[in-house]
Amino acid sequence: MTAPKAKARGRPRSETSATAVLDAAYRLCADGGLRDASIQAIAAESRVSKMTVYKWWGGRLPLLIDAYLRQATLMLPISESLAPADAIHVHAQQYLVALQGELGRVQLAVLAECLSENGDAGLFVERYLSVRRTLGAQIIRQGQRDGTIGSVRPAEALYDQIYGTMFYRFLFGFQSLDEAFVRALVDATFADAAAAIPVIPTDRTAR
Amino acid sequence: MTAPKAKARGRPRSETSATAVLDAAYRLCADGGLRDASIQAIAAESRVSKMTVYKWWGGRLPLLIDAYLRQATLMLPISESLAPADAIHVHAQQYLVALQGELGRVQLAVLAECLSENGDAGLFVERYLSVRRTLGAQIIRQGQRDGTIGSVRPAEALYDQIYGTMFYRFLFGFQSLDEAFVRALVDATFADAAAAIPVIPTDRTAR
Amino acid sequence: MTAPKAKARGRPRSETSATAVLDAAYRLCADGGLRDASIQAIAAESRVSKMTVYKWWGGRLPLLIDAYLRQATLMLPISESLAPADAIHVHAQQYLVALQGELGRVQLAVLAECLSENGDAGLFVERYLSVRRTLGAQIIRQGQRDGTIGSVRPAEALYDQIYGTMFYRFLFGFQSLDEAFVRALVDATFADAAAAIPVIPTDRTAR
Amino acid sequence: MTAPKAKARGRPRSETSATAVLDAAYRLCADGGLRDASIQAIAAESRVSKMTVYKWWGGRLPLLIDAYLRQATLMLPISESLAPADAIHVHAQQYLVALQGELGRVQLAVLAECLSENGDAGLFVERYLSVRRTLGAQIIRQGQRDGTIGSVRPAEALYDQIYGTMFYRFLFGFQSLDEAFVRALVDATFADAAAAIPVIPTDRTAR
DNA sequence: AGTTAAGCGAGACGGTACGTCTCGTCTTTTA
DNA sequence: TAAAAGACGAGACGTACCGTCTCGCTTAACT
């Protein structure tokens, strides 16, 4: 517990600047890719000084991750009011749409920056994937408890199967990643057992 | 057919330099990641001038892809003497070992560079993945013809299922990617049908 | 008359802080030159906030001038009890010693800052030189009145001749600036002849 | 002898860039003082990259000194065709005019930068003053040999007396620095009356 | 044998971004 | 209500790599 009530001394951090920076980072990344999202450009775009950026994030990678995280959280909420299986269905469809739009491009940029900087995707997993995965797995476990989801395999395995498959096809630009495929993927994953066949990328069109 | 016998005029290209550059690129990438593999460093390391590098490859991405391709071809030959199913088994195991060594690190570096430069993995797919995939799919189709491989699904789908799953777990550093897992993965993929259930990442250990 | 008795409202200005700042400025300047005497460093050294410094001095130049002035006044008092000629003799010797110590280094720093900021030494002259010069000239005039000083040339000219010559040799690091030289310089300047010719510093040994 | 015939390898240095940089440095210094003559501004003004500036000069001080030196050499040639005394007369008058124009401002800027950087004027003396002084002293010695210049004191002393006095009055903005004053100064210095001898005694310790 | 056309090393160069620094202002809380 | 604490925008610092551009030398094939 690092005393959260430590009555902040001095001028408080400007939250306006913080969001302006995150917005600019996301926007530049989405529009022009990593190349256009230099820290200089982000600072200029958001009318914030470079120093402030370096002070709060320390580099481009942490900044991009935050920018991505913020948007992903906004755009891909996991409903808590729906039945578990439906919640995942809805969320996976949203993810599909998001991947094919700006968020997808930004996600690849973040991943690239992470690999460039660290040599592995560790930080991306730690700051993003693991969080989402835990959240998603909780929903799935809930569905398993109330019987909506038939499969008894570990919730994480089911989560990986759904989102991992989608990500793989997205990353390498393989076709046949559409609404129907995702619906079948989720259904099959949850049903498991005999119906498991369609789970695997059918890919009849090949590429 | 661009006349291959167009009696080369002037001084011929130095093959020694070419391989020195590819070696240096691979080595620097493997040892210090993308950061250490600047074109300047590669040129210096290989005792070749920057001009020569730019002349023959035109940039870092094509160079890295070539360097990776060369090593991958050397280290991961697809046996033509074995029975198709065995050939894939052996190859997948080799791929597993390679991923966990230098080749894995270099592959991620190449991917990162590709995403950084182009925003997508297109060039990597085009120059590497599609070639390997076509080769692998041929072997698989051969196995399907002679009955060694039971599944009747498209060979590309089977290929993706095996190598895509491995890559996904590798990229995000998820555990439970070992010799046994790969063997089961290949077996299940080829068997298909009812036995397909274990095909999907079982992941009992979760993460 | 700015009512000195204006019942101080609120927290009164800390005189302690003021002297701490001047001391720190002088010290840092003497020890590490202008480079080490940033306002940040001075504020930190004197345990005073930057704001306070800016509030009372408005910038580095005025602060440095004050710091120099204070030390110079402390170290180079012009005796009022001695006979005029002796007073100048003593003072010039003190000045010589001071120039070769910390005060000399600080003086150059102040001059440099002044030139950097304004392009000329105007402020330095206005705040320091002109004051000293007026004071010194008064003493000299007194000596001229009571006959101790023979020269009838303007007191300012005599002052310039003594201190200007010393400063010139000091600034450009020319040698032969010692106790004997200064004594002779003052004597000759005060003796003077009818002709103004000797006004100009002679100097047989050159450098 | 550092082999001057070492057949230059690689692309030869662009002399155009070098002069463009020196010109820009001088101009910016003259127009806006030290503040406007940042290395960035100089590089931008001269359409040369910062790296090139750092490569050839290594910093602002050496660059400014070179820029000043070049202009001073161009503007203040010491005539070799005139009689020695006349040559100094003419040169001193040119120096007077130059001081009151751009060159004067630039000289102060160079001096300020030198003091700021090093704490003393050593580099300025070494690169500029000592060169000019040696040259001027040669002319004076020549005049002493052929009898045009009466004073038998060391040529350097006469040089210092003339240019040092001018510089001192210039630096501190004291008045009465005009054509007549300079003429009288040079005449008196060269004539060297008998009364001058006792004025400043001698300085036997030298350096 | 001499000419010609490329390959190649060395290295200068303009450009752009990096990450750090100090300045001078602004906005809070504390005394 | 002055001072401290510290965030902030501005912009220069000096460095690094990029990709392009001369140079002068080398290496063959074609006169």
* Closest listed residue to residue C140, CA positions, set C131, C128, C153: C153
Residue of B nearest to A192 (CA): B197
pLDDT digits (tens, 9 = 90+) for B119-171: 999 999 999 999 888 899 999 999 999 989 988 878 887 887 788 878 888 99
Which residues have CB under 8 Å from B92's CB, separation 6+? B162, B163, B166, B182, B185, B186
What does the CA dihedral B1, B5, B7, B12 come to, rounded to 10 degrees?
A: 90
pLDDT at D6: 55
What confidence score (pLDDT) does residue A7 get?
A: 65
Q: Can you give the pTM of this predicted structure?
A: 0.85
CB-defined contacts C:D, below 8 A: 169
Average pLDDT over residues B77-89: 87
Q: A56: which 2 tokens?
A: 């709060």
Q: Within 13 Å, how many C-alpha atoms sit on residue D42's CB side?
A: 32
Across the range D96-122, mean pLDDT stands at 94
Domains of chain A by residue range: 60-190
Q: What residue in B sits closest to A151 (Cα-Cα)? A: B197
Min Cα distance D169 → chain C (Å) is 9
- Distance CA(A149)–CA(C159), nearest Å, equals 101
Residue C11: the pLDDT is 54
Please, which residues have CB within 8 angstroms of residue C191's CB and are 6 or more apart in sequence?
C150, C151, D198, D199
CA atoms within 13 A on the CB side of D140: 28
Q: Please, do chains D and A touch (3+ CB pairs < 8 Å)?
A: no
Torsion, CA B76, CA B82, CA B84, CA B86, rounded to 10: -80
Q: Which residues of C touch D164 (CB under 8 A)?
A: 165, 168, 201
Length of chain D: 207
Does residue D198 carry a pLDDT above 50?
Answer: no
The answer to whether residue B59 scores a pLDDT higher than 50 is yes
In the 20-59 segment of chain C, residues within 7 Å (Cβ) of strand F are 47-52, 55-56
Mean pLDDT across chain B: 84
CB contact under 8 A, C112 and D109: no
Query: DSSP strand E in D90-203: where?
Result: none
Residue A5: Cβ within 10 Å count: 5
Query: CA-based angle A122:A126:A131, to the nearest 5?
Result: 145
d(CA B174, CA B202): 12
Average pLDDT over residues B48-77: 93
**Is residue A67 packed enough to be buried (19+ CB in 10 Å), middle (13-18) or exposed (0-12)?**
buried
pLDDT of residue C13: 62
pLDDT digits (tens, 9 = 90+) for A91-147: 999 999 999 999 999 999 999 999 999 999 999 999 999 988 889 999 999 999 998
In chain B, what percentage of residues exceed pLDDT 90?
Answer: 55
Asked if A116 lies within 8 A of B34 by C-beta distance, the reply is: yes
Mean of per-residue pLDDT scores for chain C:
82
Q: Is the pLDDT of residue A201 over 80?
A: no
Question: Could you give the C-alpha distances from B193 to A195, A196, B190, B198, in angstroms and in order?
Answer: 9, 9, 9, 11
By Cβ distance, the residue of B108, B125, B199 closest to A172 is: B125
Q: How far apart are CA B127 and CA B66, in angstroms?
A: 9
Query: How far apart, in whole angstroms, are the C-alpha atoms of residue A135 and residue A84?
Result: 12
Given B122, B173, B200, which is nearest A199 (Cβ)? B200
Q: What is the largest CA-CA distance in chain B?
A: 65
Whether residue D111 contacts residue D64, with contact meaning beta carbons closer than 8 Å, is answered with no
pLDDT (tens digit, 9 = 90+) per residue, C134-155?
Answer: 899 999 999 999 988 888 878 8
Cα-Cα-Cα-Cα dihedral of C41, C44, C47, C52, to 10°? Answer: 70
Supply the angle between the helices B84-99 and B130-145 in degrees, to the nearest 10: 150
Q: How far is D2 from chain C (nearest CA, A)?
A: 31
Q: How far is CA A196 from CA A159, A164, A168, A188, C2, in A?
A: 15, 16, 19, 5, 92
As given in the structure block, the two tokens for residue A147 are 């019987």
Residues of chain B contacting A202 with CB distance shorter than 8 Å:
153-154, 157
Residue D111 touches partner C, C-beta closer than 8 Å: yes
Residue C61 in this model has a pLDDT that exceeds 70:
yes
Total Cβ atoms within 10 A of residue C198: 24
Q: What is the pLDDT of residue C191?
A: 78
Q: Which residues of B touch A160 (CB under 8 A)?
A: 168, 174, 201, 203
Phi-psi region of D60 (alpha: psi -120 to 50; beta: other; left: phi over 0): alpha
| Chain B contact present for A154, CB below 8 A | yes
Instruction: Test C121 with D173 for CB contact under 8 angstroms.
Output: yes
Alpha helices, DSSP H, located in C47-101 = 50-56, 60-75, 84-99
At B25, is the pLDDT very low, low, confident or very high (cuts 50, 70, 90)? very high
Q: How many CB pairs under 8 A join A and B?
A: 135
- The answer to whether C200 and D185 are in contact (CB under 8 A) is yes
Cβ of D6 less than 7 A from strand F: no
- Burial status of residue A102 (CB atoms within 10 A of its CB: 0-12, 13-18, 19 or more): middle
In the predicted structure, residue A39 carries a pLDDT above the cut 80: yes
B46: helix, strand or coil: coil
For B38, nearest residue in chain A (alpha carbons) = A116
Alpha-carbon distances, residue A92 vs A97, A130, B167, D175 (angstroms): 9, 17, 21, 85
Give the DSSP letter string of chain A.
Answer: ---TT----SSPP-HHHHHHHHHHHHHHHHHHHHHH--HHHHHHHTT--HHHHHHHT-SHHHHHHHHHHHHHHHH----SSS-HHHHHHHHHHHHHHHHTSHHHHHHHHHHHHHHHHHSSSHHHIIIIIHHHHHHHHHHHHHHHHTTSS---S-HHHHHIIIIIHHHHHHHTT-S--SHHHHHHHHHHHHH-GGGGGGGS---TT--
Does B197 contact chain A (CB < 8 Å)? yes
Contact A161 B200 (CB under 8 A): yes
Residue D5 in 3-state DSSP?
A: coil
pLDDT at B91 over 50: yes
Stated length of chain A: 207
Closest protein CA to C1' of nucleotide F4, residue: C49
pLDDT, position C99: 92
| Å between A171 CA and nearest CA of chain B | 7
Contact predicate B196/B188, CB 8 Å: yes
Place of tokens 């009530």: A5
Question: Looking at strand E, which nucleotides approach a protein CB closer than 7 A?
Answer: 4-31
- Any atom of strand F under 7 A from CB of A13? yes
Query: Is any Cβ of chain D less than 8 angstroms from the Cβ of C154?
Result: no
Asked whether at least 3 C-beta pairs link B and A within 8 Å, the reply is yes
Give residue-wise pLDDT tens across range B37-47: 999 999 999 99
Q: What's residue B192's pLDDT?
A: 60
pLDDT digits (tens, 9 = 90+) for A141-183: 999 999 899 888 788 878 877 887 788 889 998 767 788 878 8
Whether chains C and D touch (3+ CB pairs under 8 A) is answered by: yes
Amino acid B86: pLDDT: 92
Taking every pair of Cα atoms in chain C, the longest distance, rounded to a whole number of angstroms, is 64
The reported pLDDT for the residue numbered B194 is 34
Residue among C41, C101, C33 at smallest CA distance from C71: C101
pLDDT of residue A192: 61
Q: Would you state the CATH architecture of domain D60-190?
A: Orthogonal Bundle (1.10)
Mean pLDDT of chain A: 85
A122, A115 contact by CB (below 8 A): no
Name the residue among C196, C200, C205 with its Cβ closest to that of D206.
C205
Q: Which residues contact B99 (CB under 8 A, 6 or more apart)?
A: B107, B166, B167, B170
Distance in angstroms (rounded) separating the CA atoms of residues B34 and B120? 17
Stretch D128-142: mean pLDDT: 91
E19 closest protein residue (CA to C1'): A54
Q: Is C202–D185 a contact, with Cβ atoms under 8 angstroms apart?
A: no
